[in-house]
Amino acid sequence: MKKSVLLPVRSVLFLLIFIVGAAVVSKQVSEISSWWSIAATAVNILTVALLLVCAKRRGQTYFEMVNLRRGTPKKELIIMVVISLAVASGGMNLAGLICYGKMPYYPGAIVEPIPLWLAVINMLLLPVTTALAEDGLYLGYGVNGIKNDKAAVIVPAFFYTLQHCFIPLVPEARFIIYRFISFLPLTVIFCIYYRRKRNPLPVMIAHTLLDLATASIILVTSADPSIYEKWMSAV
């Protein structure tokens, strides 16, 4: 289990970024929640750097550590992507129903407008860096680093889910529970699939598509904040 020591690092980093950041700009944590995607991209880059160092110490490349390879059958790839998208949507809807009594429920904090130029940059960086960082950490480093079959799924999936409770950091128990329930089914599926197949490519592609959709919505609301206002009035 010592090999999984890095798994909590992203949760800790997100907590520090929002708490320290709020203190620096003299605002409440919830007031800077709209910057979560920028924080995520920054933490993604740092995570990838840590994984590169970890892989080098093991005498591997990043791609060897995560076992990223070509040759995944197209049928398997498509099926995994479809399942991932369905589970992601189902998890969010289930969480919304349990925590807020609404289905579908999409919290406004996730798609708040940010400066347009940052939204454009983040559109390009967030999806790819998230897949490399999160799937590299929780699958390549986490699942591969734990020998027990059950623990190899449960432990990485727990921390994989936990980090989402803090991006954005909204200091409200219901929101944190909502985020945990939203992502737990998907992270369990990711970890089970990777444990069996040892191939992160289908997961990474599905993950990239999910974050591309989120980054696209942020870009739209940033380009026209009135869309966000209409969204909030309808929620």
Domain residues of the chain, as ranges?
Answer: 2-33+73-234
pLDDT digits (tens, 9 = 90+) for 128-166: 999 999 999 999 999 999 999 999 999 999 999 999 999
Peptide bond into 104 cis (omega under 30): yes
If you search the block for the tokens 């454009």, which residue do you land on?
120
CB 211 within 8 A of CB 167: no
pLDDT digits (tens, 9 = 90+) for 75-100: 888 999 999 999 999 999 999 999 99
- What local confidence, expressed as pLDDT, does residue 30 receive? 84
**Nearest-angstrom CA–CA distance, 192 and 194:** 6
The H or E element that residue 14 is part of is: helix 9-24
Rounded to 10 degrees, what is the CA torsion of 206, 209, 213, 215?
Answer: 110
Q: Of 189, 199, 196, nearest to 72 (Cα)?
A: 199
- What local confidence, expressed as pLDDT, does residue 2 receive? 54
**Nearest-angstrom CA–CA distance, 26 and 35:** 15
If you search the block for the tokens 């985020």, which residue do you land on?
179
- What local confidence, expressed as pLDDT, does residue 75 receive? 87
- What local confidence, expressed as pLDDT, does residue 235 receive? 62
- What local confidence, expressed as pLDDT, does residue 1 receive? 42
Low-confidence ranges of the chain (pLDDT < 50): 1
